Copies of this chain bind each other. A is one copy, B any other.
Amino acid sequence: MKNSKNDINANLNPLLDQLKEIAHLNGIQSLLHWDQETKMPKKAIGSRTEQLGAIASIIHRLHSGNDFKNGLKQCVDLKTGECIIKNATDLDKRLLKEVHRDWVKSVCLPETFVREYQETISISQNVWADARIKNDFKLFLPYLEKVVNLSTQKIDFYQNSSTYDYQKELNTHPYNFLLDEYEPNMTVDELDPLFNKLEGSLKGLLQKIQAKSESPKKSGIESLHKTKPFFEEKGQWNFGIQVLKDMGYDFDKGYQEKSSHPFTINFHPSDVRITTRFKTNDLFEGLSGSIHEGGHALYEQGLLEEWFGTPFCESTSLGIHESQSRFWENIVGKSESFWSVYYPILKDIFPSQLKNTDCESFYHDINSVNPGEIRVEADEVTYNFHILIRYNIEKKLIEKSLAPKDLPDYWNSAYSELLGVSPSSDANGVLQDVHWSSGGIGYFPTYTLGNIYASQFYEAMSTELNVEECIRRKQLGKIKNWLNQNIHQYGRRYSAKELVSKITNSSISIDPLIRYLDKKYSG
C-alpha cells in the first residue's frame, strides 16, 4: 500500500485544498491556546475568549457549510460514507472514510454551540488555575457544571443526528461519544473488561512488591530534597533540553516553554511546541515533563507534511499519542540503561547535590512504588489506579449518577479505597488536573490505553532492536526512527486497533504491560 499524496486520485484535490485551509485555521486556534497558556497578559482573558469564539465559528462554518458539503458529495455517499469515485484505490477510500467521519461529526453540532463551548472552556481553564492555587473547589464548581452540561448537550446532538446514525455501536452508552473524540471507535463495552482485568493484575503486582521484605536501597536524596529546595532551574532546564535533543526532537520545528501544566501543541508538523514546569526540590517534575511531552512531540513532528490538512497528517488516537509519551517517559526515561548514561551528566550539573548518591540508588529512588495523591508524580504501577478513578467518575458524571458538587467527597473516598491515600487538599485532589476545565471529559482513559499500547509496541520493537543497548549507547535516534517508521508516518491511515494489530499481530492486550512491570519490579 502506497503512502504518498501523489498516489491520491486527482478528483480529491479540491476537497483536500479546502481541508488544508481548515487545518491551518485549526493551527491558528491552537496558537491562541498556546499563547493563552504561556504568555498572555492576565487581563486579556476576555478578548482571548472572544477571539477563540470567533475562530471556532469560522472553522465550523467552513467545515459544515455548503461548499465543503458539495465537494464531499462528489467523492462519497454522504449518508453512508461510501466512496463513489471511479477507480478509487484503497488509499483513496481510506482517506475519504476518515474525511467523511469528521464531516459527519461536524454537521451534528450547531455553530452557536461550537462557539459557546470554545468560549466556556477558555474561561473555565482560567478559573480552574485560580481555584487550584486558592484550593477552592467551589470557585471552579459552576464552570465544571457548565462543562459537564455542554458535554451532555454535545452527546445529545450526536445521538439525535440523522447523519451520525451509521455509528450505531456508540449508542450503547452516552459516554462513548466523548470517548470517541479521543479514541475513535473505543467503547465502554470494550474498556470496562479491559480496565477491570488490569485493575486486578495491578493489585496483585502491588501486593507482591509491597510484600517484598527488603525495601529497595535508598539514595538519600529524596529525604534531602524534601527539606530544602536546591536543584537550580537553569541546570534542570539545560539537562532536559539535552535529553530532548538526544531523543531527536527538532528544535527548528518547535521549542520548549514553561506553563502551569505541561502540554504539547501542534500547528503543523513544522511547528510542534512543548511545555514543562519545574520544582527546585524535585529533579523529576521538570525532566519527566520534557520527556513525556517530547514523546508526544516526536509523533507530531513525525507526521508527513505532504499530507497536511488530511487525516493522514493527524495522530490516529490519543491512546496512541499517550503510548508515545509514556514510552519515552517510562520505558526509556525510567530505565536502568537510561540512567547509566545520563546519571553522570546529571551529576556534573549538580555535583554537590548528588555527591552522596550513586546511579543504582538513584535509579531505585525514582522507581520506588508508593501510592500517592498526585497522578503525574505516580510510579508506573499505581499510575493506572489514578486513571481508573477518573474514568469511573467521568462515566458517572455523564450518566448523571454523580453531581459535580459531590465530586470532592467521591474523589476522596475513591482514593482511600483504591490507593489507600487521603488527598491532603482539593488542590492536590480533585483540582489537580487541567483536563476537565478544558472540556476533556473522555481523555483520561487514553493514558492507560497509552501504557498498554506502549508495552505492546515495546515487545514488538524488541524483536527488531536491542532497545536497552540503543539507550546505553545513547542512540535514542534508532528508537525514534522505529517509531517514525511503524507509527508516526501513518497518521490516521490506520486506526489504533489496526496499528496495534499491524505491529504486534495481536489485539489490545494488557499482558505486555504486566510482563514489563513484573520484570522491572521483581528484578
Contacts and interface: CB of A to CB of B under 8 A. Distances in A.
Nearest to A251: B41
Contacts of A50: 20, 24
Contacts of A270: 41, 43-44, 46-47
A271 B54 contact: no
A366 interface: no
B44 A268 contact: yes
A51 B39 contact: no
A31 B35 contact: yes
B39 A268 contact: no
A418 interface: no
- Residues of A contacting B: mostly: helix
B47 A25 contact: no
Nearest to A38: B39
A57 B20 CA distance: 14
Contact of A51 (B48, B250, B252, B267): B267
A35 B35 contact: yes
A520 B67 CA distance: 65
B54 A21 contact: yes
B24 A54 contact: yes
Contacts of A127: none
Contacts of A255: 39, 41
Contact of A43 (B25, B31, B54, B253): B253
Given A24-B50, A54-B21, A55-B28, A40 B252 contact: no
A27 interface: yes
Nearest to A273: B41
A251 B41 CA distance: 7
A254 B255 CA distance: 22
A54 B42 contact: no
B58 A267 contact: no
Contact of A28 (B20, B54, B267): B54
A31 B31 CA distance: 8
A47 B251 contact: no
Given A35-B31, A35-B35, A252-B42, A268 B47 contact: yes
Interface in A1-54: 20-21, 24-25, 27-28, 31-32, 35, 39-44, 46-48, 50-51, 54
Contacts of A47: 24, 27, 267-268, 270-271, 308
Contacts of A20: 50
A41 B252 contact: yes
A253 B41 contact: yes
Given A25-B51, A31-B32, A41-B252, 5 more contacts: A24-B47, A31-B51, A42-B252, A46-B270, A47-B267
